[in-house]
Structure 1
Amino acid sequence: MEFKWRHRLTVWLLYTILMLNGVRSWTGEIHGRVVCDVCADSSIGPEDHVLTGAEVAVLCITKSGEVLNYQAFTNSNGIYTVAETMPESERWDACLARPISSFNSHCTHLGDGSSGVKFGYNHPSGYSYAVRPFVYRPAIAPAYCM
């Protein structure tokens, strides 16, 4: 809870500083979820669970061509978030989100189709983009999955 409060305060302060300098600011957010597909059946069921502490990288190119690299970790709900406030002229143009690692000892193999997601970011300030879930699987599915 404190992280969210601190993050919102930081965004607000940056927004205020930019506005005082006459620069029109823009805020964007990217979020997604990381899940363990326990039975490796490519569907989310009651046996599956979110992964806490999974690492995700988000690479964005701004309208001016600058490359920004973000690192995020999932929270207890398996959700990662990347947010940025910057001048409107420097806003994100396109991004790539990709999973880096799962720190869950039983669920470490990246599932099919989870290598990364490229997307254009053309949302107005204050909106967010939801990336489809990244999926990890165990090396060997438990016997009850068979």
Structure 2
Amino acid sequence: MEALGKKKLKGGISLILLMFFVFGASAWTGEIHGRVVCDVCGDSSVGPEDHILEGAEVAVLCITKSGEVLNYQAFTDSRGVYTVAETMPESDRWDACLARPISSFHEHCTDLSKGSLGVKFNYNHPSGYSHTVRTFVYQSSSLPTYCI
């Protein structure tokens, strides 16, 4: 008798899981990425003296449609690009996010440009798409002589 009860329980769980996948929550995937660069001369234009910042830290805070707050930490790669990605149920997808630079580990480029304090944005993309955040810019704490 006990074996029959376990068999019915397993069958009921399988049916519930099948209904969940067929009728229920579909998966949603989102991605946020951006770049971090060093404006060596502080002239707000990209020149041969400027370079990407590898290892720069960026924080991304997102609020989901269900009201949950998710906090991500990312570091730039060798191309100066950071990426945050998540897969979750469609009902919990990102609604609005804030991306902001945290720190630069480059010893000569640690001053954050005034326009790079953070970016708020709504995340309206369907599953599988990404949002590109404008570039965050650090400046040199002291200008090299070739910039003057």
Measured against the shorter chain, the TM-score band is: 0.7 to 0.9
Match 1:113 to one of 112, 115, 127: 115
**Shift in Å, 1:122:** 0.4
Flag structure 2 segments of 5+ consecutive residues without an equivalent. Answer: 1-16
For residues 58-87 of structure 1, give each alpha carbon's deviation from its aligned partner in whole angstroms, at most 9, with x where no partner exists: 000000000000000000000000000000
TM-score by length of 2: 0.84
**Shift in Å, 1:45:** 1.2
Percent identity for Structure 1 against Structure 2: 75
**Shift in Å, 1:43:** 1.1
Pairing of 1:23-102 with structure 2 (within 5 A): 23-102=25-104
Relative to structure 1, is the Cα distance of residues 20 and 106 closer, same or farther in structure 2, using a 3 angstrom cutoff? farther
- The answer as to whether partners of 1:61 and 1:68 remain within 8 angstroms in 2 is yes
Aligned partner of 2:124 in structure 1 is: 122
The 2-side partners of 1:39 and 1:105 are apart by: 15
The 2-side partners of 1:135 and 1:19 are apart by: 49
**Which entry has the higher C-alpha Rg, 1 or 2?**
2
AA matched with 2:123: Y
Match 1:136 to one of 135, 138, 141: 138
Relative to structure 1, is the Cα distance of residues 106 and 66 closer, same or farther in structure 2, using a 3 angstrom cutoff? same
AA matched with 1:41: D
The 2-side partners of 1:58 and 1:34 are apart by: 14
AA matched with 1:59: L
Flag structure 1 segments of 5+ consecutive residues without an equivalent. Answer: 1-17
Structure 2 residue matching 1:119: 3-state secondary structure? strand
AA matched with 1:72: A
Structure 1 segments of 4+ aligned residues over 2 angstroms from their partners? 18-21
TM-score by length of 1: 0.85
AA matched with 2:110: T
Q: Number of residues paired by the alignment?
A: 129
Aligned partner of 1:15 in structure 2 is: none
- The answer as to whether partners of 1:19 and 1:25 remain within 8 angstroms in 2 is no
